[in-house]
Structure 1
Amino acid sequence: MVEAAFYGDDFTGSTDAMVQFARVGLRAVLLVTLLSASELRELAVRYDVIGVAGIARSLPPDEQEVEVRPVLEALRELGPRVLQYKVCSTADSSPTRGSIGRALEIGREVCGPAVVPILVAQPELGRYTVFSHHFAAEAGTIHRLDRQPTMSTHPSTPMHESDLRRHLSHQTSLPLAAVHLTSYPDATVMPGGVGAVVLDALTDEDLRTLGGVILRDGSAGEVRFAIGSGGLSRALGLALRPEGEVVGSGTSGAGGPVLVVSGSQSPRTAEQIEHARLAGWTVLPLADEVAERVVAAFSAGVGGVVVHTNEVAPAKLGWVPGALAEVVRMAAGVGVRRVVVAGGDTSGQVLRQLDVGALELAGGPAPISPGVHRCRAASAVPGVDGLEVLLKPGQLGGVELFTEFQRWSG
């Protein structure tokens, strides 16, 4: 029986949501494409949590609705206790791109007019909400979101406001309220008479408290709609399985060759690419003949190759997902079974180009780095089926992430 379901507005965040549920022992699967109603019902017998990975974070509101509404309607029919619209823990969104406000409106139309909890904080990733103001770590320093070096200058959704109520008020006309830390742990009900309520969280214990509140506050027999990051997924998981963590598996040992395809322009990804270069990896810009160069490098025994998009002209960005997917297919053809896709928007587009149908955890729920998890791809394409895939958000992962993945086993 499905206890929770979610739609992820990008692929990297979707894998994180899946893992947060799996950490407490819930059986979870992540679909890359929406299945038929009968296929979903069959999965609902085998899994506690069903998620669908999407690309809404990169879409304008009209396209976002076409993408999101059918998925929410299909997942609602499975009767989960809660249906999550999964967003990034830096609240990436704007009125014209990846609008969380529009998702809020769609979710209420699908699930009913109950007040929607919004929980964006994810403390283990250095993402906190205090008195509705959001903070995010970068390079070991906690910044208010509108002053965080990466998010304040983000090329698609620059964040100019740290108060999530004010930020979201530009995306919806629904009234917004808040529940603040000073009322915890006695906050047992959500405010009424509003469209949504922004929730503070500073610690894992706050998540545990809020997960219980969200589940208790729902009406019997109704699907509760909620919006939030992997922190919300963890909060719900802890409430659904209060007995706690499942020990993960996976160790550093004898791994195998790794291909990295990157559409990320974040400073952290640049550091990871440079570390790989210094470790002896082949680093190549995406260009017309790069797939053949990648195959030649792996055939010559190179342990790691990075293909990046730093030199792609803006006019050719539409070409990038298909070109990166072709690099992955050709590398898989010479035996490469481990792939990193860097960048939230890039990950979704590349996996769809590769005809990946679903993702499950590879090994156990232990992350290779906070917020970065190994998955196994399921596909009708023989060379793609079974690939071990690491979907990496631009800002996450240690500097040694790529080389560590090369050594990881289990």
Structure 2
Amino acid sequence: MLFDVLDDSHLQTIGRLLANQARSAAPLLAVGASSVAQAYVSTLAQSAASGATAQREQLARARSPVFVLAGSLSPLTEVQIRAARSYRHIELDPLQMTGESAHSYLMAQVAAIADALRNGSNVLAFTSRREPNAVESSGALPQLAHACAVLLRQVLDAEKLQRVGIAGGGTSSIAVRALGAWGLSYLAPLSAGVSVCRVHADSPQLDGIELMLKGGQMGEVDLFEKLLEGHGDNDCTGV
């Protein structure tokens, strides 16, 4: 069934139809822009106002070290990196990640990240902002996203982690494909426009990871700290 929307009243009608369908036994797949979420949430808000109780999923505090990979060069992500005080910061050189010695450089960074995680530190690895124009002019941006994906997979193969974050639209999409997961399921919201999913994969090393994906310009300044702290005391394992 295909819907088109002209104004907010249409969103409310579509939201009611989605909510009714979601209550049925069959799974519901809704594809579209943010208006899909807006339509559905508006229905939940109306239900809450009429006396129904809407249960909000809670993300618990991380029980083990968290790894975040930030491949985005956006200004907001840069601010979020500076605000992430609970992490050990590891700066990645984009030109070395995509140059002739990329393999040896990446393996050295993977070893450093895995060692820090193994010793109990949260780790935030981010691509350097010092020469963004040099990276863009070199034509290395597509290769950089693939290099980030290789680094992520190598880190997760080296260390079994509970929670991981990826910042950057292109980085996220390529990195998720590199994991070889067969599915993602919604776990809980983290910030406006940012949610945490659960990874489903045949590999026991990857299956069950709580994964935050975000575009470069999404999320609040303290987003990476929230990924550690969660926003409630409930354990989300069964969500």
Is TM (by shorter chain) over 0.5? yes
Summarize deviations over 1:117-171 as a string: whole Å, max 9, x none. 25xxxxxxxxxxxxxxxxxxxxxxxxxxxxxxxxxxxxxxxxxxxxxxxxxxxxx
Alignment partner of 1:307: what SS? strand
Match of 1:230 among 26, 34, 42: 34
Task: Note the residue ranges of structure 1 that are not aligned, 5 or more in a row.
Answer: 1-81, 84-115, 119-198, 216-225
Residue 225 of structure 2 is matched in structure 1 by 403
| 1:281 and 2:88 correspond | yes
Summarize deviations over 1:332-372 as a string: whole Å, max 9, x none. 2222231111122221111112112211022xx4x111221
* Aligned-residue offset at 1:231: 2.3
Counterpart Cα distance in 2 of 1:227 and 1:299: 39
Counterpart Cα distance in 2 of 1:303 and 1:369: 20
Structure with greater strand share of residues: 1
Conserved in 1, the CA contact under 8 Å of 2:47 and 2:54?
A: no
Structure 1 residues 254, 227: CA separation in 2 closer, same or farther (over 3 Å shift)?
closer
- Report 1:260-339 matches (<5 A): 260-276=68-84, 278-286=85-93, 287=97, 288-289=105-106, 290-308=109-127, 310=129, 311=131, 313-314=135-136, 315-332=139-156, 333-339=158-164
Structure with greater helix share of residues: 2
Counterpart Cα distance in 2 of 1:209 and 1:317: 43
Conserved in 1, the CA contact under 8 Å of 2:66 and 2:123?
A: yes
* Aligned-residue offset at 1:389: 0.4
Residue 248 of structure 1 is matched in structure 2 by 56
* Aligned-residue offset at 1:214: 10
- What letter matches 1:258 in structure 2? V
Counterpart Cα distance in 2 of 1:368 and 1:237: 16
Conserved in 2, the CA contact under 8 Å of 1:252 and 1:404?
A: no
Residue 176 of structure 2 is matched in structure 1 by 351
Counterpart Cα distance in 2 of 1:328 and 1:358: 17
Give the TM-score of the pair, scaled to structure 1: 0.42
Structure 1 residues 345, 200: CA separation in 2 closer, same or farther (over 3 Å shift)?
farther
Counterpart Cα distance in 1 of 2:31 and 2:210: 29
* Aligned-residue offset at 1:270: 0.9
Residue 341 of structure 1 is matched in structure 2 by 166
Counterpart Cα distance in 2 of 1:355 and 1:241: 37
Counterpart Cα distance in 1 of 2:182 and 2:47: 32
Conserved in 1, the CA contact under 8 Å of 2:76 and 2:221?
A: yes
Residue 361 of structure 1 is matched in structure 2 by 186
Residue 390 of structure 1 is matched in structure 2 by 212
Alignment partner of 2:145: what SS? helix
- What letter matches 1:352 in structure 2? R
Task: Note the residue ranges of structure 2 that are not aligned, 5 or more in a row.
Answer: 20-29, 98-104
Structure 1 residues 326, 228: CA separation in 2 closer, same or farther (over 3 Å shift)?
closer
Alignment partner of 1:356: what SS? coil
Alignment partner of 2:190: what SS? coil
Summarize deviations over 1:59-85 as a string: whole Å, max 9, x none. xxxxxxxxxxxxxxxxxxxxxxx35xx
- What letter matches 1:283 in structure 2? I
| 1:371 and 2:193 correspond | yes
Counterpart Cα distance in 2 of 1:227 and 1:325: 26
* Aligned-residue offset at 1:293: 2.0
- What letter matches 2:184 in structure 1? L
* Aligned-residue offset at 1:373: 0.9
Structure 1 residues 212, 404: CA separation in 2 closer, same or farther (over 3 Å shift)?
closer
Q: Percent identity?
A: 28
Summarize deviations over 1:304-349 as a string: whole Å, max 9, x none. 3223354572322222233222322232222223111112222111
Give the TM-score of the pair, scaled to structure 2: 0.69
- What letter matches 1:256 in structure 2? S
Q: Number of aligned residue pairs: give it.
A: 200
Counterpart Cα distance in 1 of 2:173 and 2:66: 19
Conserved in 2, the CA contact under 8 Å of 1:291 and 1:326?
A: no
Alignment partner of 2:55: what SS? coil
Match of 2:4 among 117, 129, 142: 117
Task: Compare relative contact order (CA 8 Å, sep 6+) and give the higher one, 1 or 2.
Answer: 2
- What letter matches 1:275 in structure 2? A
* Aligned-residue offset at 1:236: 5.0
